[in-house]
Amino acid sequence: MRVTQLALGGLLLLCAAVIAPLPGPGGVFPFAGGMVLVLRNSRRARGWFARGKRRWPRIGHAADVAMRRRSALRRRARDRAGRR
């Protein structure tokens, strides 16, 4: 099942690359879905994503929020608790 989801994620990423030049936001949705599937099923991709988030934190935060990642939810809850 994991390999199937990883392959589907890669296929969605390729589809997004093909659709991206067309007018409109058509490539955004397959890209987001493909990223979610790849990040959930590949340890190496998670490592690359984490390194990219450290290098570009604003983009990483936006990606976490957009994909509703659990790590982003935990960080947001921790930050809210620290402010009180």
Over residues 41-67, mean pLDDT = 84
Does pTM surpass 0.85? no
Over residues 49-61, mean pLDDT = 85
Share of the chain above pLDDT 90, in %: 31
pLDDT tens digit sequence for 2-22 = 899 999 999 999 999 999 888
For the cut 80, the answer to whether the pLDDT of residue 49 exceeds it is yes
pLDDT of residue 84: 65
Instruction: Decide: 61 and 54 in contact? Cβ < 8 Å.
Output: no
